[in-house]
């Protein structure tokens, strides 16, 4: 016969309240919600508001409160939140449209609801805003000194200036504006363009990677400064191998192409390692990002 008393065990004693040691704890509870049923109810309530020409603010707030109770069905919840956001946008415009006095205000409100789903209220508001845009005069936008000087250089220097690319043009204009203000002679702009392009042309003859890298750091390039130190080293080495740029903008585009090509090659290699099931020094977070992108 088995002696059950010989086995290790424990006993429980009924208590009427929690131990003194537990008084610092806060106890919470969450009501179990039928989220499928709640979603169906919220969907019907939202449809009523979406059909209306006047949004019931209290009804909308009630929907917002009830939507916050959904904790599991995130797909349905995100759909509801998107539709709520559309209604909130329409409500905001409906409340502000009577105070519109300028073309800019009307245009901003029209853009604000442009992404909302089609509804009777959206249609009504768009028609009213279109009428305002047609009736109100467009305000003249006064350009800054830099913008005026940029227009002047484009008009008077032409392609040589335009072909510097955005970063190159801004570098030239900002430097000349510091020296001369808005009254910059055309020949000074031309001289700056020529000097900058000659500096770029001389890089083709550089034989040292570090010297080329230092020179690239001094140029108004949009892509090179964004690279990490390691990536700059790789791209600089590839530039020395290719030497296929002609001008500042061409160099900037080539840097972007080389970096993009390198990124694609690295990602393909990483994916191959992951698919083979053999990961060594590959950063775990990078692997996680790649998996999420793939799926």
151-183 confidence digits (pLDDT tens): 999 999 988 998 898 899 999 999 999 999 989
- Give the integer Cα–Cα distance in Å for 264 and 293: 13
Contact between 77 and 38 under an 8 Å Cβ cutoff? The reply is no
What is the residue extent of each domain of the chain? 35-135, 142-205, 206-295
224-246 confidence digits (pLDDT tens): 999 999 999 999 999 988 888 88
What pLDDT shows up at residue 105? 93
Where is pLDDT greater, at 28 or 227? 227
Contact between 164 and 196 under an 8 Å Cβ cutoff? The reply is yes
The CA angle 167-172-173, to the nearest 5 degrees, is 100
Contact between 94 and 121 under an 8 Å Cβ cutoff? The reply is yes
Band of residue 213 on the pLDDT scale cut at 50, 70, 90: very high
Residue with tokens 């840097």, as numbered in its chain: 255
Residue with tokens 């539709």, as numbered in its chain: 83
């Amino acid at each position: 016969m088995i002696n059950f008393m010989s086995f290790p065990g424990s006993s429980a004693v009924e208590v009427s309240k929690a131990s003194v040691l537990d008084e610092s704890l806060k106890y919470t509870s969450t009501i179990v919600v039928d989220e499928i049923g709640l979603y169906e109810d919220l969907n019907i309530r939202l449809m009523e508001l979406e059909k209306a020409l006047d949004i019931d603010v209290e009804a909308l707030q009630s929907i917002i409160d009830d939507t916050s109770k959904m904790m599991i069905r995130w797909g349905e919840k995100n759909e509801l939140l998107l539709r709520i956001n559309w209604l909130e946008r329409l409500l905001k415009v409906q409340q502000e449209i009577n105070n519109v006095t300028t073309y800019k205000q009307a245009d901003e409100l029209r853009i604000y609801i442009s992404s909302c789903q089609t509804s009777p209220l959206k249609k009504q508001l768009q028609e009213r805003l279109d009428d305002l845009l047609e009736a109100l005069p467009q305000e003249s936008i006064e350009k800054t000194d830099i913008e005026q000087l940029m227009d002047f250089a484009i008009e008077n220097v032409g392609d040589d200036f335009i072909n510097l690319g955005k970063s190159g043009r801004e570098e030239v204009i900002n430097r000349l504006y510091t020296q001369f203000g808005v009254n910059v002679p055309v020949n000074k702009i031309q001289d700056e363009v020529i000097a900058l392009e000659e500096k770029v042309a001389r890089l083709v003859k550089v034989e040292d990677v570090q010297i080329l890298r230092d020179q690239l750091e001094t140029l108004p390039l949009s892509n090179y400064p964004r690279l990490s130190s390691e990536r700059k080293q790789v791209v600089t080495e590839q530039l020395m191998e290719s030497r296929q740029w002609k001008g500042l903008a061409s160099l900037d585009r080539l840097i972007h192409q080389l970096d993009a090509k390198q990124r694609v090659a690295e990602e393909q290699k990483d994916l191959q390692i992951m698919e083979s099931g053999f990961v060594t020094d590959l950063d775990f977070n990078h692997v996680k990002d790649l998996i999420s992108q793939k799926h």
